[in-house]
């Protein structure tokens, strides 16, 4: 178990990639704090982890609520005395180009996809500095590298996550804290529903993926969980400030 006795916080862990990442960390011995806005989804993740012999607890909150986030992280630190891993994964897609996107949608996207990552990292950093080690993984997207049709809010925030991650890495490597970003491509989860609707439905998105992704298919969440495990474990111990793209080859075309 390569994460034995470590404490990990995973935001957006109630479903999809977040759940898969939380589950694989627990499988490898971490005690996982399943942070999600939805209690039912968080509990489902915890039940799956515990059924597989892992250890987890829920942290139900809106990560864009600074006070709730600070209180939650403070409570986790007090209870366990350490936070070894923070995976900032909670995010949202808001469709629309420059003229079409709702202004409040753009603001929501920024608050969840960027600012909440910033705040959670800011809150765990003192504990990691004192420990002389720690790992922060921020979820960006292949949309943080590519143009994504008529998704200005999403692409803007995902590009920002990459810049922020690199800045964190450069500033905190001297304290033994590593920061990297994960850029998933097309992963078959309900998260993609806004873009699928914009594209014109399931048949349209399937044709798009078949044309644009060299491997010609969606990724399964399990294919993203393994790179997550690599990035949060000592398997990547000499890696910081890097962007790991897992996209079936889309960004090389």
- What amino acid positions are annotated as catalytic residues? 154
Dihedral sign computed on CA atoms, order 12, 123, 104, 59? positive
List, as own/partner pairs, every contact residues 19-23 make where C-beta atoms lie below 8 angstroms and the sequence separation is at least 24, other chains included: 19/44, 19/45, 19/48, 19/221, 20/221, 20/222, 20/224, 20/225, 20/228, 21/87, 21/89, 21/224, 21/225, 21/228, 21/229, 22/49, 22/56, 22/87, 23/48, 23/49, 23/52, 23/54, 23/225
Q: Which residues pair with 96 in a beta bridge?
A: 151
């Amino acid at each position: 178990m390569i994460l034995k006795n470590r404490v990990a916080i995973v935001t957006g862990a109630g479903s999809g990639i977040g759940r898969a990442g939380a589950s694989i960390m627990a499988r490898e011995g971490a005690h996982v704090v399943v942070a999600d806005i939805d209690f039912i989804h968080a509990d489902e993740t915890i039940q799956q982890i515990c059924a597989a012999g892992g250890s987890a607890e829920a942290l139900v909150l809106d990560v864009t609520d600074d006070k709730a986030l600070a209180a939650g992280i403070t409570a986790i630190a007090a209870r366990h005395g350490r936070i070894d891993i923070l995976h900032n994964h909670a995010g949202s897609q808001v469709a629309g180009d420059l003229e079409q996107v709702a202004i409040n949608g753009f603001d929501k996207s920024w608050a969840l996809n960027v600012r909440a990552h910033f705040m959670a990292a800011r809150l765990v950093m003192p504990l990691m500095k004192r420990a002389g080690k720690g790992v922060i993984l921020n979820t960006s997207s292949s949309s943080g590298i590519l143009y994504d049709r008529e998704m200005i809010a999403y692409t803007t925030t995902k590009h920002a996550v990459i810049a922020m991650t690199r800045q964190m890495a450069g500033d905190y490597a001297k304290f033994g804290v590593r920061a990297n970003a994960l850029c998933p491509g097309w992963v078959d989860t309900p998260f993609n529903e806004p873009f699928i609707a914009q594209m014109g439905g399931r048949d349209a998105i399937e044709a798009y993926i078949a044309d644009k992704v060299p491997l010609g298919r969606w990724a399964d969440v399990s294919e993203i969980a393994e790179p997550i495990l690599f990035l949060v474990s000592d398997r990547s111990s000499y890696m910081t400030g890097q962007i790991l793209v897992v996209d079936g080859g889309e960004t090389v075309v």
